[in-house]
Amino acid sequence: MHAGILVALTLLTMAACKQAPPPAETSAAKTAVAATPADAPPAAGRCAGWRARLGKDPEKTQSVETCLRKMALRDRVAAVAEARILLDWKLPPDSGLQLVAVTLQRFPEAAALETFMQETGLQLKAAPTEARESWAPLTIADHLAERGQVLGFDVETGMFPNAHEGLMGELAQLAGPPMSWAKFSEVPPGDPDDTSLPYRLRARLGIKNYDVAARNFGDWYDVASVLDLLNLMSEDAGSQARFFSLPTGDQTAQVLVADRQVIAGLVESGLLQLQAPDRSREAGQAYEAEALGKFRQEIRAQ
């Protein structure tokens, strides 16, 4: 097992041992919720509900996650109790709701998560100091995004060529030296209408040059090829920093740059989720295809 993974898991075990036992109210709440129908909405003042639909109905799943986040902002103790109920229901392992519930269960106090992140080895930037009323970071991904350690962007560029070099440059700056010293360029396909023709992504770092193909998806970035190239360059430069794609659920992408062993430990412990770099583009293209199909049906029905 890598040292970074071992450190993360050891710290997580220590944090779990320090947690107070669940309050008596939690057991009573579990009994009350268990007595309700599996497809019932949350009771007034609660978040645990829609048990049979979680993971199957994205809207209901998101509503429960949103409820849990808001509850944690005003009453974290109550939110932890709800999280324990939800985790007993075996939530979808790759859902945002699962991540929020796991974080609350393992870190009943927000300060404990902050300490854990520092001790795990994440290179944390200073947190913003402005007052927040309606939102606060809850998961590790939330904290990293708020501190400017995640780059978010729309995978659909709306133009040709896509200017992959700009995206690579922004991500390299996020990583810092030596990656921030790299230079990038893009050679677009000769025919904008022929998607079988690839892009060429070129880079230079130190004395080493790179030239790789990127798939042509029209006005969509090839995020997977971009991250593959950046990770290769970072590895060749002897850096432990790697570029990871975080789940978004739509056609936007979020890319995190962090130590590869630290991230591996967080993923293994269930405190961070990653997604395939192509997932956001696939979600966006699927939405477009569905919308186009509905539009054509409406035209034919007229």
Q: What is the pLDDT of residue 21?
A: 54
**Is residue 88 domain-shared with residue 166, that is, in the same domain?**
no
Distance CA 272, CA 103 (A): 9
Distance CA 55, CA 93 (A): 9
219, 66 in Cβ contact below 8 A? no
Distance CA 3, CA 262 (A): 9
Q: What is the pLDDT of residue 268?
A: 95
Provide φ and ψ at 191, rounded to 5°.
Answer: -115, 110
Mean pLDDT of all residues in 150-154: 97
Distance CA 138, CA 100 (A): 7
pLDDT-derived band of residue 7, with 50, 70 and 90 as boundaries? very low
In a domain, 140, yes or no: no
**Nearest partner of 263 among 145, 126, 122, 106, judged by Cα:** 122
**Is residue 243 domain-shared with residue 161, that is, in the same domain?**
yes
**Is residue 73 domain-shared with residue 189, that is, in the same domain?**
no
Cα 107 off chain centre by: 19
46, 33 in Cβ contact below 8 A? yes
Contacts of 249 (CB under 8 A, 6+ apart): 58, 96, 283
Q: Which of 51-55, 134-138, 264-268 has the lowest mean pLDDT?
A: 134-138
pLDDT-derived band of residue 28, with 50, 70 and 90 as boundaries? low
**Is residue 258 domain-shared with residue 205, that is, in the same domain?**
yes
**Is residue 156 domain-shared with residue 284, that is, in the same domain?**
yes
pLDDT-derived band of residue 27, with 50, 70 and 90 as boundaries? low
84, 27 in Cβ contact below 8 A? no
**Is residue 154 domain-shared with residue 284, that is, in the same domain?**
yes
Q: What is the pLDDT of residue 17?
A: 46
**Nearest partner of 246 among 149, 180, 123, judged by Cα:** 149
**Is residue 203 domain-shared with residue 100, that is, in the same domain?**
no
The answer, yes or no, to whether the previous bond of 178 is cis (omega within 30 of 0) is yes
Domain that holds residue 62: 20-107
In a domain, 13, yes or no: no
Res. 6: pLDDT tops 80? no
Q: Tell me which of 51, 86, 107 is where a domain ends.
A: 107
In a domain, 228, yes or no: yes
Res. 298: pLDDT tops 50? yes
pLDDT-derived band of residue 33, with 50, 70 and 90 as boundaries? low
**Is residue 189 domain-shared with residue 94, that is, in the same domain?**
no
Mean pLDDT of all residues in 18-42: 61
Which amino acid does the sequence have at 125? K
In a domain, 266, yes or no: yes
In a domain, 130, yes or no: no
More confident: 32 or 111: 111
In a domain, 6, yes or no: no
Distance CA 278, CA 275 (A): 8
Res. 190: pLDDT tops 80? yes
Mean pLDDT of all residues in 226-232: 99
| Structure tokens belonging to residue 233 | 């360059």
**Nearest partner of 176 among 201, 140, 209, 151, judged by Cα:** 151
81, 117 in Cβ contact below 8 A? no
Q: Does the CA dihedral 219-224-229-233 come out positive or negative? A: positive
**Is residue 215 domain-shared with residue 89, that is, in the same domain?**
no
Mean pLDDT of all residues in 142-153: 93
**Is residue 98 domain-shared with residue 201, that is, in the same domain?**
no
The domain total for the chain is 2
Q: What is the pLDDT of residue 16?
A: 47
Per residue in 92-142, pLDDT (tens digit) is 888 999 999 999 999 999 999 999 998 998 878 887 766 566 678 999 999
In a domain, 15, yes or no: no
Percent of the chain topping pLDDT 90: 69
Calculate the average pLDDT of the chain: 88
Mean pLDDT of all residues in 167-188: 97
Q: Which of 24-38, 70-84, 247-261, 278-292 has the lowest mean pLDDT?
A: 24-38
Res. 156: pLDDT tops 90? yes
| Counts of helices then strands in the chain (DSSP H, E) | 11, 6
Overall pTM surpassing 0.75 (yes/no): yes
Res. 203: pLDDT tops 70? yes
**Nearest partner of 135 among 125, 148, 145, 122, judged by Cα:** 145
Mean pLDDT of all residues in 23-31: 55
30, 22 in Cβ contact below 8 A? no
